[in-house]
């Protein structure tokens, strides 16, 4: 089979030929139909992600595929079942082995591409906004990087929870995508003063930040009292230092959130969250946005779309 592998952190990933894998006890073998890319894949390709394995390894954190074989002790999902799974790695390939316990059957209402683009982005936004930030109906949610993979899902989840959503993105085209996802107010980070614009709209009760850097600092300055600031990631490459005096004066809470970490200490929370999200999708409340679909042979180009911020929503690779 073909796989897109990191063979060394000093060289770019490449498509290689590998023997077909065989499932270990507790695993299933999938014929992979689609793999959703995440910013973490970029970090992992250079060894900068918190859960990066030692090379060689295959990139691709979340996939949709069909069960082709069962490892020892596995009775379900049955062979032939279409599933989605967050495996952490191994998705950018024609086949892959993943823990059976993490596989979720994909409903007929969801196509392969949407399923591969669904789990991490929607799971992140739903779990952090409901469990950690406890976003309430009528509150104002400020979403930075609003046209990105997690940003667009934060808009949709925020609206489903009854919030007013302010979207921050770069340029008119990306803001139009955020508007289509349901954002109530739009701020162009290329031309607008984020802090002043948010304050003019009444300030933010919850800030959703996958960007970091100057955008984080501006958003912190526009927070209302008792606001919650969610730290999702640092797409800007700048990890901000937080002035504790601002937190003190406004009673602000800063919340760190790593969705994949829940697999190690509370997988049930992930399962419950994804179950509700699947129901929302079936009801038409969620519409995954995939701006680019590329072949496995073009996986390097797919990663470059994330690196250069030329994509909106998700980028998906199909074998």
Mean pLDDT of the chain: 95
Q: Which one, of 144, 161, 160, 106, lies nearest residue 274 by Cα?
A: 106
Burial class (CB in 10 A: 0-12, 13-18, 19+), 18: middle
Same domain assignment for residues 131 and 213: yes
CATH number of the domain residue 38 falls in: 3.90.180.10
In Å, what is the CA distance from 159 to each residue of 22, 70, 167, 183, 222? 43, 40, 12, 8, 20
State the average pLDDT over residues 171-192: 97
Our count of domains for the chain comes to 2
294 exposed, middle or buried (CB, 10 Å; 0-12, 13-18, 19+)? middle
Considering the domain architecture, whether residues 229 and 136 belong to the same structural domain is answered as yes
Contacts of 138 (CB under 8 A, 6+ apart): 162, 163, 164
- DSSP letter string over 41-52? HHHHHTT-STTP
277 found inside a domain = no
List pLDDT tens digits, range 126-153: 999 999 999 999 999 999 999 999 999 9
Asked whether residue 51 carries a pLDDT value surpassing 90, the answer given is no
Is the pLDDT assigned to residue 200 strictly greater than 90?
yes
Minimum mean pLDDT range among 12-26, 130-144, 211-225, 263-277: 263-277
The per-residue pLDDT for 132 is 97
Same domain, 74 and 183: no
Q: Summarize the confidence of residues 37-61 as an average pLDDT.
A: 93
Report the alpha-carbon distance of residue 34 to residue 229 in Å, rounded.
33
Which pLDDT value is given to residue 264?
86
Looking at the fold, whether 240 and 304 belong to one and the same domain comes out as no
Same domain (yes/no): 226, 304: no
Q: Residue 54: is its pLDDT beyond 90?
A: yes
pLDDT score recorded for residue 50? 84
% of the chain beyond a pLDDT of 70: 100
C-alpha distances in angstroms, 220 versus 66, 150, 166, 248, 256?
44, 20, 14, 12, 14
Number of neighbouring beta carbons within 10 Å of residue 162: 11
Question: Which residues constitute the domain of residue 48?
Answer: 2-118+288-318
Average pLDDT over residues 35-64: 94
- Say yes or no: 247 and 310 in one domain: no
Q: Is residue 272 part of a domain?
A: no
What is the predicted pLDDT for the residue at 260?
A: 87
* Region at 37 (left for phi over 0; alpha for psi -120 to 50; beta for the rest): beta
Q: pLDDT category, 72, cuts 50, 70, 90? A: very high
pLDDT category of residue 211 using cuts at 50, 70 and 90: very high
Does 271 score more than 90 pLDDT? no
Same domain, 15 and 68: yes
Asked if residue 147 belongs to a domain, the reply is yes
**Looking only at Cα atoms, what is the longest distance across the chain?**
60
pTM passes above 0.85: yes
Separation of alpha carbons 66 and 87, rounded Å: 15
Q: Is 301 helix (H, G, I), strand (E, B) or coil?
A: helix
Considering the domain architecture, whether residues 145 and 253 belong to the same structural domain is answered as: yes
Do residues 249 and 134 share a domain?
yes
Domain presence at residue 35: yes
pLDDT at 58: 97
Q: pLDDT confidence of 74, banded at 50, 70, 90?
A: very high
What's the rounded mean pLDDT across residues 287-310? Answer: 95
Residue 278 located in a structural domain: no
112 near 64, Cβ under 8 Å?
Answer: yes
> Residues 130, 239: one domain?
yes
Q: What angle do CA 191, 212, 303 make, to 5 degrees?
A: 90
Shared domain for 141 and 245, answered yes or no, is: yes
> Does pLDDT of 114 surpass 90?
yes
Residue 69 backbone phi and psi in degrees, to 5: -160, 155
Residue with tokens 């003019």: 200
């Amino acid at each position: 089979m073909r796989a897109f592998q990191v063979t060394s952190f000093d060289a770019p990933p490449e498509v290689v030929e590998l023997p077909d894998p065989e499932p270990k006890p507790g695993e299933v073998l999938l014929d992979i139909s689609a793999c959703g890319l995440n910013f973490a894949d970029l970090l992992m390709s250079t060894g900068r992600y918190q859960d990066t394995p030692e090379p060689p390894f295959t990139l691709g954190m979340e996939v949709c595929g069909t069960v082709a074989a069962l490892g020892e002790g596995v009775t379900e999902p049955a062979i032939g079942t279409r599933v989605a799974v967050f495996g952490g790695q191994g998705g950018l390939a024609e086949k892959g082995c993943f823990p059976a316990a993490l596989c979720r059957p994909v409903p007929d209402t969801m196509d392969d591409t949407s399923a591969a683009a669904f789990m991490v982005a929607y799971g992140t936004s739903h779990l952090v906004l409901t469990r950690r930030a406890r976003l309430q109906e009528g509150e104002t949610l400020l979403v930075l990087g609003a046209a990105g993979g997690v940003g667009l899902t934060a808009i949709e989840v925020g609206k489903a929870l009854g919030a007013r959503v302010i979207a921050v993105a770069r340029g008119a085209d990306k803001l139009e995508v955020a508007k289509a996802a349901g954002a109530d107010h739009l701020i162009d980070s290329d031309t607008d003063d984020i802090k002043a614009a948010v304050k003019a709209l009444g300030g933010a009760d919850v800030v959703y930040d996958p960007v970091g850097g100057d955008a984080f600092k501006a958003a912190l300055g526009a927070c209302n009292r008792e606001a919650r600031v969610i730290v999702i990631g640092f797409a800007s490459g700048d990890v901000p230092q937080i002035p504790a005096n601002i937190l003190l004066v406004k009673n602000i809470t800063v919340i760190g959130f790593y969705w994949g970490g829940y697999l190690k200490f509370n997988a049930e929370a992930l399962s419950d969250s994804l179950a509700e999200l699947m129901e929302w999708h079936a009801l038409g409340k969620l519409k995954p946005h995939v701006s680019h679909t590329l072949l496995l042979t073009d996986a390097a180009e797919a990663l470059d779309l994330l690196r250069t911020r030329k994509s909106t929503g998700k980028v998906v690779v199909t074998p």
